[in-house]
Amino acid sequence: QVRLVESGGGLVQAGDSLRLSCAASGRTFRTYVMGWFRQAPGKEREFVASISWNGRSIYYADSVKGRFAIIRDNAKNTVYLQMNSLKPEDTAVYYCARGLSGMSVDSTDFNSWGQGTQVTVSS
């Protein structure tokens, strides 16, 4: 069973940047799709970004396209979410997750989740 630990969240102002990290345990990290999701208060968890095992395929939600970047470092068993030009509507708990098989934007295709890290963007 893989263990995922997110870090890097915090309180920032609109327009600022943050980089989230997700460190994974286990030797098979490099073989899996990884994804980032977020959940705002009173809302359902939503897809943010996902990346293939080799980084060659990347999906983004329309709401973050052009502002966020998902990056993985297989040597460090870590996936990152670089968030630029943050908006108040980006406020949420951000979760990283390991995919079951191929690329996906559906949370049901991810079977291991971290505990989440809070991102709060003030206006």
Check residue 27 and give its pLDDT.
77
DSSP code string of 9-64? -EEEETT--EEEEEEE-SS-GGGS-EEEEEE-TTS--EEEEEE-TTSS-EEE-TTT
Q: Are strands 117-122 and 34-39 parallel, antiparallel or unpaired?
A: unpaired
Cβ atoms of 106 and 84 within 8 Å: the answer is no
Check residue 107 and give its pLDDT.
94
Q: What is the mean pLDDT of residues 11-29?
A: 94
Classify 115 as helix, strand or coil: coil
Task: Write out pLDDT tens, residues 54-113.
Answer: 999 999 999 999 999 999 999 999 999 999 999 999 999 999 999 998 999 999 999 999
Classify 98 as helix, strand or coil: strand
Check residue 26 and give its pLDDT.
79
| Residue 28 predicted with pLDDT over 90 | no
43 — phi, psi (to 5°)?
A: -120, 165
Classify 107 as helix, strand or coil: helix
Check residue 30 and give its pLDDT.
87
Check residue 106 and give its pLDDT.
94
Check residue 14 and give its pLDDT.
98
Cβ atoms of 110 and 76 within 8 Å: the answer is no
Task: Write out pLDDT tens, residues 43-54.
Answer: 999 999 999 999
